[in-house]
Amino acid sequence: MTSKTCCTPRANRATSDTSATTLPVAAALDPPQIDVVAIPGGKALIGTDFPVITEDEESPCRTKPIKAFHIMRTTVTNAMFAAFAEGTQYKSDAEVFGWSFVFYRNVSGTVPETEGVVGTTWWRRVDGANWRLVNGPGSEVDWRPDHPVTHVSWRDARAFAKWAGGRLPTEVEWEHAARGGLQDAPFPWGVVEPDDVGHFPCNIWQGGFPQENTGADGYLTTAPARSFDPNGYGLFNMCGNVWEWTSEPMKLRSLSKRTKERMRRLKGAKLLKGGSFLCHKSYCFRYRIPARTFTTPDTTTTHQGFRLVFDVV
């Protein structure tokens, strides 16, 4: 299978790779108690021998040595990010720039006409959308403290990580944790694919994307960070719900002209893993452990979040 334009847009705001806001040096509040899981070190699997989107270089399956680490049991929640923002007076990139991307079906009814992304018009630039107003002005009721924080850029994630004493995971750390002790399995629960009618192990799209989402899994947008069954390591929502930022830049090994052009267009892009509530096999079959997507570090959307890892000392 080749890739269609991914469900992750690009902001390409007029900034350098340096954050428009200042990373907090000291917090007025202590970081919250964060529930973490110990992940063993050793030889970790990365990639797969059963690739689906070959141009993303999902294959081959190989091993890399890693050290033991701790990882958050869930993604960072709205409540956690609120403690950070209020304790440090931090302003997210979406707040600083004054807008973010919202999926067209979720845009607040009080928002006037919006601008769509060329080629993926279901993504709308919404002025005033941010992690507090997830669907734009007038969407206060859509903010839920136990759901993943969204509308956070890679730089916002790094700022939170610095405050909390952690860091974003590498790709191999993320995949190792997501497998939960399984081998070359596509999903955190094993090999059985989710479907639209009866098997709902994660929060993704059911129906014809992007027109109809039946919500058969119980959710039309994000689900609580602690929902669905955890994987073998006790981690929730490693696939589906929200894309998760990693620490790594976009890396593709191919020397083909097509790949070089893609790298040029995505210069400075960062890697995300896990897929989101907007993924469906018919369009974006990236809610798999080895799947990969990339976007610019300033991009903020309703379906991107993050979780942290912590070094074992």
Residue 102 placed within a domain: yes
For residues 234 and 47, give the distance between their C-alpha atoms in angstroms, rounded to a whole number.
21
Q: What is the extent of the structural domain holding 97?
A: 36-311
* CATH number for the domain harbouring residue 149: 3.90.1580.10
Q: What is the mean pLDDT of residues 269-278?
A: 97
User: Is residue 126 helix, strand or coil?
Assistant: strand
Residue 4 placed within a domain: no
Q: pLDDT tens-digit profile of 116-157?
A: 999 999 999 999 999 999 999 999 999 999 999 999 999 999
For residues 291 and 103, give the distance between their C-alpha atoms in angstroms, rounded to a whole number.
22
Three-point CA angle 101, 102, 107, nearest 5°: 140
Residue 22 placed within a domain: no
pLDDT band for 26, please (50, 70, 90 cuts). Answer: very low
Residue 270 placed within a domain: yes
Q: What is the mean pLDDT of residues 2-24?
A: 56
Q: pLDDT tens-digit profile of 221-267?
A: 999 999 999 999 999 999 999 999 999 998 898 889 888 888 888 88
pTM of the model: 0.93
Q: What is the mean pLDDT of residues 195-202?
A: 97
Residue 118 placed within a domain: yes
Residue among 313, 231, 310 at smallest CA distance from 70: 310
Residue 10 placed within a domain: no
Q: pLDDT tens-digit profile of 56-87?
A: 999 999 999 999 999 999 999 999 999 999 99
Q: What is the mean pLDDT of residues 185-206?
A: 97
Number of domains the chain is built from? 1
pLDDT band for 4, please (50, 70, 90 cuts). Answer: low
Residue 198 placed within a domain: yes
**What string of DSSP letters covers 225-243?**
SS-S---TTS---SSSSSE
Distance in angstroms between the alpha carbons of the first and the last residue of the chain: 43
Residues paired with 165 in a beta bridge: none
- Of 22-36, 116-130, 207-221, 288-302, the range with the lowest mean pLDDT is 22-36
- Position 19 scores a pLDDT of 42
- Position 30 scores a pLDDT of 60
Residue 180 placed within a domain: yes
> Any residues with CB less than 8 A from the CB of 217 and at least 6 apart, and which?
194, 200, 202, 203, 204, 206, 223
- Position 276 scores a pLDDT of 98
- Position 14 scores a pLDDT of 58
pLDDT for residue 182 is more than 50: yes
Distance of CA 36 to the CA centre of its chain: 18
